[in-house]
Every structure is written in structure tokens, then in C-alpha cells.
A and B are shown apart, each in its own frame.
Chain A
Amino acid sequence: MGFLDIDNTTKSYGAVEVLHNVDISIEEGEFLVLVGPSGCGKSTLLNMIAGLEEISSGEIRIKDRVMNGVHPSKRNIAMVFQSYALYPNMTVGQNITFGLEMHGTPKPEREKAMKEVASLLQIEQLLDRKPGALSGGQRQRVAMGRALVRDPDVFLFDEPLSNLDAKLRVDMRTEIKKLHQKLGTTIVYVTHDQIEAMTLSTRIAVMNGGYVQQLGTPQDIYDTPANIFVATFMGSPAMNVVPARVAVENGKPMARVALHDGTETALPFSQGNMEGWDGKDILLGIRPETITDEDAADRKSSNIAHMTNRIVVTEPAGSDTFVTMTMGGKDVIARMRSDAEVHPGADFTFAVNMEKAVAFDPATEARIAP
């Protein structure tokens, strides 16, 4: 039993099931991120934890207490909404203490708690203002203050940063991470932004179409994605997925991939069990940063393969240069050092770190290896 258990939980609107048998269990102090494309059911799941949506079947437990049918205010949770949902007619101070007031906390304690939270979030000078007179970043802080002041068991965040501009978003992301490290609170955080998910979480649940595709640490999710959806959703630029054929040569399984001119190259598999796949088609997943020039290849890797391929496009991006080539009839992106000598139209010998390559079953799109 974890701290928060989502146990075989389903949500239906009428005849339409939008969440299918979700099973997630997290420990106290974890930072769980629910990530997935828009409409995949993240907010619905979060609202079910909050008690704002009914649970159609299954059970949600917080600290082993079954939450089905328990009113949101009695779950000891707090939520930060995408729109911040600050009460427009109340001052910042009143916004922060409203929940305590509703729960019958005496005024002196409310004031004390408000002061503590305000100093933690550095919003003391805003306490007498109305939300309308705050900037986006300040509203965000107040919304967090309103959640923090309650000292809840679980914090719920629904895309809290998506209304901020890019710069502020990165700053607030760091801020939230710091806050989590400092307070050790249990957090469930919804976002469609995979970078937010990777940077903030201790564990990620990648969702699509109402299913949890994979639940794991950021490293797990990134290195061993359960299927092609997870592989391509997490990471930017997305993982390259190219058709390949398995061929065992000298007892070693190789992935044979067509290059730009139709000739094939053989990339040796590093690990994992490819038994039974000899001669069969697979989809090979290669992350852009594992295709480099020879000098930049990972020295710790025991399996660097080389291939010479034609460069189609180069896109210098300051710190990196993105190189597009054709493999297996698809565009493949390599992430190179900015000073790599790459020219469009020229042939180039790439170093591929096959230790990091992933093989998928083309029929089920599930991972075969590693």
C-alpha cells in the first residue's frame, strides 16, 4: 500500500469510458507527473483524486483511507489550477486564508499560517492586493500559497505553468522543484509538456487515450520506453523510429537499416534478447543525441557503430546542430556538437551509440529490447 493508491480506477461519461483501469501507487514525498497529449484524461484523473469528479469504478486511497464519495474538502488535498482560480473579489491574503476559514481555523492561526507561506513564496508585499492587480507569475505564487497554507497530504497541480511565458515558466519550474525538495510534500502534477515531466518528477505516468502507457522514473521512461508512443512523446526532438530487419551475423544480432541510397548498413544490437527475431522486421528507435560524429561519441559506451550517410539538412541551434538524413525511408535527426563539420548534401560518417538503441515490435508497437 502506498501513500496514494489509484486502484484499477475507471471513469466513464455516460457510455464513453475516458479512463481505462488506471493503476498507480506512489509513496509519501513522491512527485508524480501525469503527462500526455491534450484530451488523454490527465485532468480527469487529477479531478478524481481531488474529488471533483466521481470515480466510475475502482478505488482511490490516500493514506489507506478510501476516498470514493468523500467530499473534496475532506480529503486533505490542495489543488493549483491552470487558471489559478484566485477569488477575484478577495485580497491575496483572503485568498490564501479562505480555505482555513472554511475549515474553522481560528483567526490568529490563520494569520500566522498566511505570514509563513507569504514569506516562503516571497509575496508578503502583495497580501493586500486583489488578484486583478497581479502579474501572471505573482498569481501563480499566490495560487501555490493558497495550496501550501493548508498543509495537505497531497498537492494536485493541473498544468500550473501553461499560462506563463516561456522564461517565467522555466523559472517557476525550478521554483516548484525547490519547494518540493524543501518541503518533501507528495505531489501529483499534470502537464502536457514532456520537459516539465522529465525535470520535475520522481516518477512519470505517460498517458494516452485514457490508458497509462508507462509508469516509471524519468530515466526508465527515457531509456526504456514501453512502446513507440512513449518513445516518441518523451524527448525533444523525438526519438527516431526507423524500419529495420534483424539479421544474426556471427552469432550477433544486427539491425539492418536502409540508408539514403538504398544500401543497407548493419548496426549491432548491444543487449537484450532478440532471440526469435532473426530475419524479421522491427522498428528501431534511436535518440537524436546518440547519433554523433566520431569525436563526440560516448566513450563509456561499449557499442559504437559507424555508418556513412548523406546529410540532407543541417539546422544550427547554437549549442547543438541538428542534422537530418534518411534511414529506412524516414527522416532521421541527429543531434551534433555545434562545431561538427557537417554540410548539406555531403556524406558523413556518423557514430551511433547502439547501447541506447531500442527495438519495437512493428505489430504491437511494444518494446522488444532492451
Chain B
Amino acid sequence: MAHATQDTAIRTGRAVRMLIYLVLILFALFYMLPLYVMLVNSVKPLEEITGGGMMNLPQLWTLEPWAKAWSSAQIGVEPTGLSPYFWNSIKMVVPAVAISTILGALNGYVLTKWRFRGDTILFGLMLFACFIPFQIVLIPMARMLGLMGLAGTTWGLVLVHVVYGIGFTTLYFRNYYAVFPTELVRAAQIDGAGFFQIFWRILLPSSGPIAVVSIIWQFTNIWNDFLFGASFAGADSQPMTVALNNLVQASHGVKEYNVHFAGAILAALPTLLVYIVAGRYFVRGLMAGSVKG
């Protein structure tokens, strides 16, 4: 691998390369700047921020803003901190990601290995769902959730995100399974494996890379969603994003920037974590369909 990279890299002079690295490092620093600002200001007392010097390192290091953001800051009318909303988000994201990924995998399996009349049209329609703007479905969706008795509940949000996610997850898995050899499915059929056994024993074990793609994609989208959360959640099912907004937008009292920064990082942490843990596989999975091993 290292050899290949060296051989195929464009040969450049030393000075040019230094310059390129310098520029890249500068870009990287610039790009990291907001994170730096958030981090340093989240561990400062409020006076140090309001006294100017947003870029300075804290004189007095404190985790107080983090603790406050997590457990005692005023969110709306209750001084609960973000923690209950964090768990709301988890309770929404985990089932939504799991269900949409599993359904996407099943759809991809059926659309490629159990072809039927009109399957391409059906797939086209599912893809179409990826391009429907969120705003258009708000009112019909609210009505549907009301009819189903899911209005204002976590499960209502799960349903919304699953419905919206299926188009993407189906696309991922369909394209992945399209290059999965059909002869394997036929061999398994002759061996006596049924519909779900083939899926479970033959396809899924080989689906790691694309499952990671689907999970990361769904996790980030659902975790970061604000519109559906703000529109459909009840008081006790509001996700982290909505709570963060309420924290920052609170109209009374002083603006506690250090707490806001800590809260924002808390809200971003899970997606960050998912990328760090699975990011490598993300790229590999995206490549898997196009490049045959």
C-alpha cells in the first residue's frame, strides 16, 4: 500500500511540498478554530469571557459550566440541565437508527435478490423520498401522528425518522447487495436456507462496511435533527437539539456563554464519537460498492 502511494504520487520538489504542507496546516488550524473557542470558553468562569479575550486560555480552569449545562441549567421553565434531553435523544436515535438500518438492509436484499415486477419503480419511488424537503411533510405528518396516537411521543419521532431514513438506507444496501453474487443466494436456497436464514447467515455477515455507513449517516442526521424535534416532540420527549436551543435562547438573566459552549459540545459529542470510532469504516464502506475487491 505504502509503495503504491509512493509510486503513483505526483513527484514534487521538497520546497513545493513544504509549502503545500504549510498551507494545509494553516487550513486545518483555521478549521479547528471554532472547536478551540468552544473548548477553552467552556472551561472558563463567565467573567473571563465577558471581560473580553475569547481566544485566551482560561486563567482559572473550571468544569463548573459543564456540570451546570448537564444537570442544572434552566431549559425552558425547568432547571434540569441538558441531561434528560440527552437521554430523550438517545431513546429516539437508537431505535430509529436500528430500525431504519434493518429495514434498509431487508429492502436492499429483496430489491436485488428477490426481484419482482415493478421493483425498479418501487426503488425509484423510495429514492424520491430522499429528496422531499422536510418542511413539506410537517403538517401531514403531524396529522398522521395525531391519528396514530403518537403525537408528542418519542416513538412518534422514531417513526418520523425511520420513514425519512428508509430511502437512504435502502439506497445504500441495494447498491451494496447489487454486486453481491446472486449465486451465493442460489447456493443457499439449494442448501435449504429460507428467506430470513439467507439474509441472516449469508448476506448480513458480509454487510459490515455498508451497515457502518448506514448507521453513521442515520445517527448524525437523526441526532442533529432540529425541525422534526421542535415540531413533533412533547415536553418530555424533546431531543437534545431542541433543548440546546432553549438553553441558548433563554431570554431571562445573563447569557452564560461558558454554559452554552459546554452544552453545545455535549450535544455534538455523540456524533463526534461515532465518527471517531467508525469513520475509517465509513470511507471503506462508501468505496465498497464501486471498487470490486
Which residues of A are at the interface with B, using a C-beta cutoff of 8 A? 47, 50-52, 71-73, 77-79, 81-83, 85, 87-89, 98-99, 102-103, 146
Contacts of B205 in A (CB 8 A): 89
Contact status B183-A83, CB under 8 Å: yes
Contacts of B189 in A (CB 8 A): 52, 71-73
Contact status B184-A85, CB under 8 Å: yes
User: In the docked arrangement, what's the CA distance between A51 and B190, Å?
Assistant: 8
Contact status B187-A85, CB under 8 Å: yes
Contacts of A52 in B (CB 8 A): 186, 189-190
Contact status B183-A102, CB under 8 Å: no
- Given A99-B192, A102-B193, is A83 in contact with B181 using a C-beta cutoff of 8 Å? yes
Contact status A79-B190, CB under 8 Å: yes
Contacts of A51 in B (CB 8 A): 190
Contact status A73-B190, CB under 8 Å: yes
Contact status A82-B192, CB under 8 Å: no
Contact status B183-A99, CB under 8 Å: no
Query: Which of chain B's residues has its CB closest to A88's CB?
Result: B206
Can you give 28 contacting A-B residue pairs, CB < 8 Å? A50-B186, A50-B190, A52-B190, A72-B186, A73-B189, A73-B191, A79-B190, A81-B183, A81-B186, A81-B187, A83-B181, A85-B183, A85-B184, A87-B184, A87-B187, A87-B202, A88-B184, A88-B206, A89-B206, A98-B193, A99-B192, A102-B188, A102-B191, A102-B192, A102-B193, A102-B197, A103-B191, A146-B187
User: In the docked arrangement, what's the CA distance between A88 and B205, Å?
Assistant: 9
User: In the docked arrangement, what's the CA distance between A87 and B192, Å?
Assistant: 14
User: In the docked arrangement, what's the CA distance between A275 and B188, Å?
Assistant: 58
Closest Cβ of chain A: how far from B94's Cβ, in Å? 26
- Interface centre among A50, A78, A87, A103, by most chain B C-beta atoms within 10 angstroms, is A87
Query: Which of chain B's residues has its CB closest to A83's CB?
Result: B183
Contacts of B186 in A (CB 8 A): 47, 50, 52, 72, 79, 81, 85
Number of B positions contacting A (CB below 8 A): 16
- Interface centre among B186, B187, B192, B201, by most chain A C-beta atoms within 10 angstroms, is B187
Quick one: which of B150-194 are within 8 Å of A by CB?
Answer: 181, 183-184, 186-193
Closest Cβ of chain B: how far from A218's Cβ, in Å? 28
User: In the docked arrangement, what's the CA distance between A52 and B190, Å?
Assistant: 8
Ranked 8 nearest A-B pairs via Cβ = A73-B192, A102-B192, A99-B191, A89-B205, A85-B183, A85-B187, A81-B183, A72-B190
User: In the docked arrangement, what's the CA distance between A79 and B193, Å?
Assistant: 14
Given contacts A50-B190, A79-B190, A99-B192, 9 further A-B contacts (CB under 8 A): A72-B190, A73-B192, A79-B186, A87-B187, A98-B191, A102-B188, A103-B191, A103-B192, A146-B187
User: In the docked arrangement, what's the CA distance between A51 and B193, Å?
Assistant: 14
User: In the docked arrangement, what's the CA distance between A102 and B200, Å?
Assistant: 13
Closest Cβ of chain B: how far from A98's Cβ, in Å? 5
Query: Which of chain B's residues has its CB closest to A84's CB?
Result: B183
Closest Cβ of chain A: how far from B187's Cβ, in Å? 4
Contacts of A77 in B (CB 8 A): 190
User: In the docked arrangement, what's the CA distance between A47 and B191, Å?
Assistant: 14
Contacts of B181 in A (CB 8 A): 83, 85
Contacts of A78 in B (CB 8 A): 190
- Interface centre among A50, A72, A78, A146, by most chain B C-beta atoms within 10 angstroms, is A72
Query: Which of chain B's residues has its CB closest to A150's CB?
Result: B191
User: In the docked arrangement, what's the CA distance between A81 and B188, Å?
Assistant: 12
Query: Which of chain A's residues has its CB closest to B190's CB?
Result: A72
Contact status A98-B188, CB under 8 Å: yes
Contacts of B193 in A (CB 8 A): 73, 98, 102
Contact status B183-A82, CB under 8 Å: yes
User: In the docked arrangement, what's the CA distance between A88 and B191, Å?
Assistant: 15
Contacts of B183 in A (CB 8 A): 81-83, 85
Closest Cβ of chain B: how far from A273's Cβ, in Å? 48
Closest Cβ of chain A: how far from B208's Cβ, in Å? 10
Closest Cβ of chain A: how far from B196's Cβ, in Å? 12
Return the contact of B187 from the options A47, A71, A79 (Cβ within 8 A): A79
- Interface centre among B181, B192, B193, B205, by most chain A C-beta atoms within 10 angstroms, is B192
Contacts of A85 in B (CB 8 A): 181, 183-184, 186-187
Query: Which of chain A's residues has its CB closest to B207's CB?
Result: A89
Quick one: which of B78-136 are within 8 Å of A by CB?
Answer: none
Closest Cβ of chain A: how far from B106's Cβ, in Å? 18
Contacts of B187 in A (CB 8 A): 79, 81, 85, 87, 146
User: In the docked arrangement, what's the CA distance between A72 and B189, Å?
Assistant: 7
Query: Which of chain A's residues has its CB closest to B187's CB?
Result: A85
